[in-house]
Structure 1
Amino acid sequence: MIRTGDPRTLGVPASEARLHFGTELQELGGGPRRRLLMVDDEPAFELSFYCGTCPLLFRRLDTARERLSLESMQERLGGPLDDPDDGGVIDAFGALLPEGEYLPLLLTVEPRLVIPGKEGDYFSHEQVTSWGVDQFWGLPEYPHTPYYRTFETAVDPDAHLYEFVVPMVPPTWNERDRVEEYAARMEQGTVPTAVAVSTLDVCQPAIGFGDDPSVHWGLTHFLLDGHHKLEAAAAAGRPVRLLSLLTLGESLAGADERARLPALRARPRSARATGT
């Protein structure tokens, strides 16, 4: 943690925002309506269900095809960002978002790329420990996207915080020369800055299908700018700075939980005692 700002109102009316949160329309005789992250009015990600007892989720949908980076901010974000208000970075990216209350967090992250079903996959390991596998499919949840793990820490003896950075499009869509350029700059000591809109979802299993019914706090950063930077940092084992605009109104967390987040994120990183 480098800096926490005060909650502030950002964004434009949802009908004008390139990114917004919503609920799918109910079909006659259909199942529960999904909670969605929308980009350009297309469903991009299915998110954790509203009930608070279902597993944490960010599942890429087949209409997630757009990045939301701003060319006007490229030079400003090419190096470390110390004050996110300097240069109007928060307001610039806020114009992509739906109007609401956001908490700015400026973080240093060391991303590790994870492939679903492979080593380090949260959905195949920590989540299964608490929820078990999906009772219909008999399989773990599947996010349909590679993602980055960056941080985790204990909240208390019965709860754990997990942090993820989720690209809007897979790293295989990145331009190789730009990834290599950032990797070379990082090897020389440059620490570039990425930008994300983030959610904090607090989920607790209601039925004991897993071995450890602990509460999972999921801090999930959806990348607006920084797809090439995150891949380069993961490949080079280097840090990047991340400006997180945490939505307060669209997160599945109460006021007390949101208030605890900056102090939790400032703790040293610590894995679960189980080692999963």
Structure 2
Amino acid sequence: MIKWGEPRRLGVPGPEARLRFETEPTRAGGRMGRRLLVVDGEPAFELSSWCGTCPFLFRRLETGRQTLSLEHVRERLSGTLPGPGDDGGVIDAFGALPPEGDYLPMLLRVEPRLTIPGKGGDYYSGEQVATWGVDQFWGLPEYPRTPYYRTFETAVDACAHLYEFIVPMVPPTWNDRKRVAEHAESMARGSAPTAVAVSTLDVCEPALDLSADYYRHWGLTHFLLDGHHELEAAATAGRPVQLLSLLALGEGSATAEDCARLPDLRTQLRSARAAGT
């Protein structure tokens, strides 16, 4: 199941936004400084470089300790939402957290799989290493410093592949065990709650073809605002949940044309990358 709304103008003036995308200034005053997701004034994640040739990245920072749940819409999120046009004010509520801009609301069905960096299924030590190799300084794969959820992937074309991730604002180990168990039991009885995220799309490709599997990586990253316990419960129980994503248009390295392709790509069947194709 996937439902798409029309792009909407959401957000508040930058200084008032609890969640912001920022780029640290460089000495030359350019746009190539460290790219950050900032929550309540503190850098929470380092994101992919604007250059587009560096490896795709989300990396949790030490000051990333804050979730952005909204209690006054929690009951509305206990079940599935009918669609972006009938969300009962949820989009407007969460749309007041980021800075003013254009956002594309998406309602996605996801089946999250909890992934531990360096363990089986880890994108950073698997697909990314096959394209970029290990970090030339550290001699290791990129390290996101957080467990995360993998949900979907599909071919964009012969030269590109889409990977989708849900990134919790705080590690699942911080979740309340009792609440996770309660949600897992409820899901086993058929409930399907809705989580909420603000999302970015990055397209990354090495400048030179020096790898075992050279292609463009499309990284669709959902930074989880609400639903941390529900996502872990769904991963534990092997159950789907609904994800309301607010895709921040212009805040990733993808072009407007790339973002416009997402509705069709997200309706394709899930398919893993056939290395070297």
* TM-score range for the pair, normalised by the shorter chain length: over 0.9
1:176 and 2:172 equivalent? no
Determine if contact 1:106/1:243 at 8 Å carries over to the other structure. yes
The Cα offsets for residues 30-75 of structure 1, whole Å up to 9 and x where unpaired, read as: xx62000000111000000000011000000000000001001111
CA contact (8 A) 1:9 1:99 kept: yes
The corresponding residue for 1:64 is 64
Tell me the equivalent position of 2:18.
18
Partner of 2:102: 101
Q: Which moved more, 1:226-235 or 1:253-262?
A: 253-262
Contact 1:131 1:208 in 2 (8 A): no
Partner Cα separation in structure 1 for residue 46 and residue 201 of structure 2: 15
For residue 87 of structure 1, give the secondary structure of its aligned residue in structure 2: coil
Matches within 5 A, 1:8-157: 8-26=8-26, 33-84=33-84, 85-157=86-158
Unaligned runs of 5+ in 2: none
Letter in 1 for 2:161: H
CA distance in structure 1 between the aligned counterparts of 2:95 and 2:169, rounded to whole angstroms: 17
Residue in 2 that maps onto 1:265: 266
CA RMSD of superposed structures (Å): 1.3
CA distance in 2, matches of 1:196, 1:39: 13
CA positional deviation for 1:208: 3.1
Q: Measure, in 1, the Cα distance between the counterparts of 2:154 and 2:131.
A: 16
Moved over 3 A (4+): 25-28
Deviates more, 1:76-85 or 1:260-269: 76-85
Question: Per-residue deviation at 1:266?
Answer: 0.6
Instruction: Please give the residue correspondences for 1:158-237 in structure 2 after superposition, counting only pairs within 5 Å.
Output: 158-237=159-238
TM-score (norm 1): 0.96
Q: 1:246 offset after TM fit, Å? A: 0.2
Amino acid of the residue matched to residue 53 of structure 2?
A: T
Distance in 1 between the 2:54 and 2:93 partners? Answer: 34
Report how far residue 255 of structure 1 moved: 1.4
Give the whole-Å Cα distance in 2 for the aligned partners of 1:98 and 1:174: 28
Where 1:134 maps in the other structure, the secondary structure is coil
Q: Which amino acid aligns with 1:71?
A: E
Please list every run of 5 or more consecutive structure 1 residues that lacks an aligned counterpart in the other structure.
Answer: none
> Number of residues paired by the alignment?
272
1:80-106 C-alpha deviation (Å, 9 max, x unpaired) = 112234311100000111100000110
Task: Indicate how the Cα distance of structure 1 residues 127 and 50 shifts in structure 2: closer, same or farther if over 3 A, else same.
Answer: same
SS in 2 for 1:15: helix
**Aligned-pair CA distance for 1:249:** 1.7
Q: Distance in 2 between matches of 1:215 and 1:88?
A: 37
TM-score w.r.t. the length of structure 2 is 0.96
Letter in 1 for 2:46: E
- Identity, in percent, stands at 71
